[in-house]
Structure 1
Amino acid sequence: MSPYPALVAAGFRRWSTYRAATAAGALTNSVFGAIKASVLVGTVTSSGAAVAGYDPLQAATFAWATQAFLAPVSVFADDELARRVRTGDIAVDLARPVDPQLAAWATDLGRAAFMLLPRGVPPVVLGALLTGLAVPSSPLPYVLGLASLLVGVSVSFAARWIVNLTAFWLTEVRGILLLYTVLATTLTGLSIPVAWFPTWLNALAHATPFPSMLQTPVDVVLGRVTGLDAVRLVVVQLAWLAGLLAVGRALLAVGARRLVVQGG
């Protein structure tokens, strides 16, 4: 039996033990969702017309949806792998009879699966009560949206994996992790829709994998893109995922050759 489904389950169980942190995170996501919805709705209302295709209700829905997907996608960078590289514990991972990248990916998918409901549902429920939601009436956007979210979670993992692997060459990675978090917060569409960016920044964002992490799943599940356009966005996500995973594997192979731990 493949160990990877077991690692998905292990990731789910691991994160399900942090119940107080999950509840606090759900509250935080909901509060920030209310703040962001107010800002976006105020922006659209003050303009006197829709902004880049968003009317007030759609802008509010975008705010709630991004807050719901924030935790599963894990937009912000973590340093778990970097710490294992720095301490030499990565040698244990390399010695295990599983692929380190695939094992970490499976574990992260388990984390995301757990986060989806307790961290994702409260902002959506609060949004429905406070502002209402502009959501599709047919099931297809939700089905394709969940598939897009799964790929978005994977793209986020692959990018964070690469950032953490810089620990093989850098003594301290906090600076690059902070830079990654700043870029992700902006370019994923977490703060405002990428469609609201100036032309040059919009083009820059789409030249990176960041919109594929959050903006694309939100657009697909809310039905802002449908049919072949939605499929095209998912294909773009898959292309970014394949490229990032390949880069991550190459970096791990190079980094493992230069790894030095006590005793050998």
Structure 2
Amino acid sequence: MATVSGAFTNSVFGFILCGVYLTLWHERPGLGGYDVNDALTFVWLQQGLLLPIGIFGASTTIELGERIRSGEIAVDLYRPTHLMVWWMSMDLGRAMFQLIVRGGVPLLVGALVFDLKFPSGPVRWLAVALGLVLGILVSFGIRYLVALSAFWINDSRGSEAAAMLLSLFFSGTILPLVVFPGWFGEFARATPWAGTLQVPIDIWLGRSPNGIGGALLFQLGWILVLLLAGQLLTQLAMRKVVVQGG
């Protein structure tokens, strides 16, 4: 029921956002290099990907922060696998489930009403699939670091709320990042959050400024940085737990 109601809610918000975007692109045709069909396709892809990518946070990393706060993380540290790998596998399973059972519903609803754009050819579809997986991994890397903050501040809920606000703005959830002008637009498109939503959608639309290869390398670069940071913080956190006698 939660999945069905969530898909319905995303579809309703899709129509609301389409009204806003149609007005905006009527006043500013070609805004950000998007035409009207690009903008409408962006809306329905965005609504379908919010939960799989974890723009508002995700149950797996929220649970990790709670387990650190409650001390249950000690059980995780006993498992014969790396903490980050364990939670990454959990998050990928969650994301794939949501992508299959919920992600396509808003896009299907939008395609029935509007003339949306779809990738042409198997190579583009493969690039889209890879971009989506990389976007989920970028999102996990950010959320994992936020969850680990509970080792130092004891409760990661404040960090999660702040991270959600940054994610909403810099991922392109509120507006496509291509509409932001000048240095601020360049800064927004260089953040890791851009790799979670904006970049995969640009690959879908064929609007990646540096081409598909450049878009995928951008995501891979941020994955490498975030996972290395996660590995380092995990080691520091485990040392802290041992020092505290946990």
Q: Same fold (TM over 0.5)?
A: yes
**C-alpha contact 2:177 2:198 (8 A) present in aligned 1:** yes
CA 1:87/1:262 → structure 2, altered by over 3 Å: closer, same or farther? farther
- Pairing partner for 1:34 from 5, 11, 15: 15
- Distance, in Å, in 2 between the alignment partners of 1:214 and 1:87 is 32
Q: Which moved more, 1:170-179 or 1:155-164?
A: 170-179
* Aligned CA-pair RMSD: 1.8
Letter in structure 1 aligned against 2:114: T
- Pairing partner for 2:196 from 202, 209, 213: 213
Specify the alignment match of 1:189 in structure 2. 172
- Distance, in Å, in 1 between the alignment partners of 2:238 and 2:106 is 42
Describe the SS at the equivalent of 1:52.
helix
What is the TM-score normalised by the length of structure 1?
0.87
Q: CA deviation at 1:136?
A: 2.9
- Pairing partner for 1:174 from 145, 150, 157: 157
Residue 71 (1) aligns with residue 51 (2): yes
Deviations 1:215-236 (A, max 9, x none): 111111222238x711111011
Describe the SS at the equivalent of 2:40.
helix
Specify the alignment match of 1:110 in structure 2. 93
| Structure 2: gaps of 5 or more residues | none
Q: CA deviation at 1:94?
A: 0.8
Residue 57 (1) aligns with residue 37 (2): yes
| Structure 1: gaps of 5 or more residues | 1-19
- Distance, in Å, in 2 between the alignment partners of 1:137 and 1:248 is 37
Deviations 1:94-122 (A, max 9, x none): 11101111111111111111111221111
Which of structure 1's runs of 4+ aligned residues deviate more than 3 A? Answer: 260-264
- Pairing partner for 1:92 from 75, 89, 104: 75
- Distance, in Å, in 1 between the alignment partners of 2:177 and 2:213 is 19
- Distance, in Å, in 1 between the alignment partners of 2:119 and 2:80 is 45
Residue 224 (1) aligns with residue 204 (2): no
Describe the SS at the equivalent of 1:246.
helix
**C-alpha contact 2:141 2:223 (8 A) present in aligned 1:** yes
Describe the SS at the equivalent of 2:55.
coil
- Distance, in Å, in 1 between the alignment partners of 2:19 and 2:121 is 28
Q: CA deviation at 1:72?
A: 1.2
Q: CA deviation at 1:151?
A: 0.5
- Pairing partner for 2:66 from 78, 83, 89: 83
Q: CA deviation at 1:260?
A: 6.2
- Distance, in Å, in 2 between the alignment partners of 1:206 and 1:224 is 13
Specify the alignment match of 1:134 in structure 2. 117
- Distance, in Å, in 1 between the alignment partners of 2:88 and 2:156 is 21
**C-alpha contact 1:58 1:133 (8 A) present in aligned 2:** yes
- Distance, in Å, in 1 between the alignment partners of 2:123 and 2:23 is 31
Letter in structure 1 aligned against 2:27: S
**C-alpha contact 2:56 2:168 (8 A) present in aligned 1:** yes
Residue 249 (1) aligns with residue 231 (2): yes
- Pairing partner for 2:25 from 22, 39, 44: 44
% identical aligned pairs: 39
Deviations 1:176-212 (A, max 9, x none): 2111101100100112110101323212213320000
Q: CA deviation at 1:54?
A: 1.3
- Distance, in Å, in 2 between the alignment partners of 1:107 and 1:174 is 20
What is the TM-score normalised by the length of structure 2?
0.93
- Distance, in Å, in 2 between the alignment partners of 1:206 and 1:43 is 21
Q: CA deviation at 1:139?
A: 2.6
* Number of equivalent positions: 243
